[in-house]
Structure 1
């Protein structure tokens, strides 16, 4: 079972070190991390000594008692009320609280403009515990397996519309047990593939490259992967771009290990593409963490501080891409768990170009 009490105690130490008596937690993913509660309306007051109070409304009375866990070292009190912040302001009393930066300016002003404490929970979330890593492996395995079956069944073929193919994939993911989609599926054919976040259109899939970026939620944790396949035999440009992106991807994956610099990982991938003359068409960062959020820290990007390095237990995607406006695009992506001596992918299917 997940030790939520220890998680709260660890974050409470950060709150105390920052000089605050309490932290008002409003981000729902952070609340789930600290308590196990997965409802859509809640707030938590975390005391610097590790004690905590969660407030949610009557719709979740049964759920919050079932999902939350507490222990003598870090007790969790439950209040059922619609007045989340009012109840927690009362509990905090004269000690007051700091808030997370995600709280809106309007809400913060109604609370008296308290101090902002950024990253207290997110920094704890960076290194995943064993239960989290298992959840990430299961989410990745489910999505990867379903996608392999989807391709084998002819899910991508000329004549289908992008939206028809995406609907088929999404149905298969849900039927296999996914709790939901971790983001809107991208399935882009032809010129649409030149848009990194093209989404899904009603356009008909045409011969050539098709990029599919997809993921699921499973037990609260996300998966994220991208495959680019080719409908019919690739022409010279398609083959050139795919081989280039695959070389960049492979170099990036080889660089993932404890102590590796995040800026350096991005640079390894980016330099290969730039040296081939396509640097201006790699328009996003190389990677990000995956966990309770599908996009979270750490980040491998050209703007990342060069001192930031990977630690065992963190996650990172490697996802270089090249996008030629009016022509086509390629992206390849896996999610990796940083191990003691390297990295483990949660998306084991082939990254070689598949012709369908």
Structure 2
């Protein structure tokens, strides 16, 4: 299982990403970008340092300069082996040197740069000390859509991750729930994700009974019982790209109220999906899903945004939330995950990853939305 391999990204792919990033930075009024270890560096170069440490690693991008990756000398061999290395000039510094003094000539004094959100504070402060007139803006504020629109090879990886999560859920329907703890069920989820090719499991939410009313409940020692509604939210990385799906199951026969609440969430999720189209503001997806729940009288129990982007990380722009007016663009990928959470009683959430296409939305999760009965 999970043996299929994705199309590899090439040096030309990374060159194109870097050119686009520099152009977008210029359009945003920035002199360039400073990219430290994290998803942005992986996206632009294919380089993923083995450890994010106190040693400065930074990719410096600007309109009038060669893309330059500054690394500790001991990590240079790994940087040279990165797929995107041919698109870069490599520079290094040695222990005992001031890395910020080495980096300073690569920047324009007094200019404004976008800088990775994941940059350690000590590195930002070091750069500020070396170039006190230079200013910085977080990438989420300056270029929030840098990684939002996926190319066909990225979409293929996301689809593979979604399929693996779907197969995991299908097998979970045959797992025993009653009489076992949430932690035991979560371990089954993690095991199956790995069996279906995930190299990293990021979360396995198992919210049974009243715990399901907490959207981010972590699996615990509660023993699942007959009559429990159980929220299952799980995902991670396969081929470097994320999966994230939620289904709500019931142990034994549900009550009429439980069926009704689940159906309201199902209809809300469908309404959000039906609203997906190029040019539609992100907030309209939230509004469409939220209206169904509000009209049914449960609006106060839908307590989070309708969705988030996904790619190299499981949460990234765009966000489907009131006030986000950026339009959807073909290639954007995001969750649609409305929920109802009744404190002290139970919760229901249904989540699919969806990509925007020229013709509307396409689901990357395709397991049934009906309330599944488990034993």
Give the TM-score normalised by structure 2: 0.86
Displacement of 1:248: 0.6
The structure 2 residue matched to 1:131, chosen from 145, 149, 153, is 153
CA 218–79 in structure 1, closer or farther in 2 if over 3 Å, else same: farther
The unaligned stretches of length 5 or more in structure 1 are none
Distance 1:193 1:84 in 2: 48
Partner of 1:209: 229
Alignment of 1:328-339 (within 5 A): 328-339=346-357
**How far did 1:253 drift?**
1.0
- 1:343 aligned partner: 361
Partner of 2:71: 56
Whole-angstrom CA distance in 1 between matches of 2:122 and 2:90: 27
Quickly say closer, same or farther: Cα 1:109–1:136, change in 2 above 3 A. Answer: same
Cα gap change, 1:111 to 1:57, in 2 (>3 Å): closer
The partner residue of 2:209 within 173, 179, 190 is 190
* Pairwise CA distance, 1:97: 6.0
**How far did 1:121 drift?**
5.1
- Aligned-pair CA distance for 1:338: 0.7
Change (3 A) 1:63 1:139: farther
Q: C-alpha deviations, 1:22-54, integer Å up to 9, x for none? A: 322125111111100122333211122362122
- Matched residues in 1 for 2:77 and 2:220: separation? 41
Cα distance, 1:55 vs. partner? 2.8
Inter-CA distance 109–67: structure 2 relative to 1 (3 Å threshold): closer
Q: Check the 8 A contact 2:25/2:143 in 1, yes or no.
A: no
Structure-2 separation of matches of 1:63 and 1:138: 27
How big is the alpha-carbon RMSD for the aligned residues of Structure 1 and Structure 2?
2.2
Displacement after TM superposition at 1:160 (Å): 0.7
Moved more, 163-172 or 21-30: 21-30
Q: What CA deviation, in whole Å up to 9, does each residue of 1:134-154 have, x standing for no partner?
A: 1111111112112212323x1
For the pair 1:239 / 2:259, whether they are aligned, the reply is yes
In the alignment, does 2:58 pair up with 1:43? yes
Q: How does 1:267-282 map to 2 (within 5 A)?
A: 267-282=287-302
Count residues in correspondence: 349
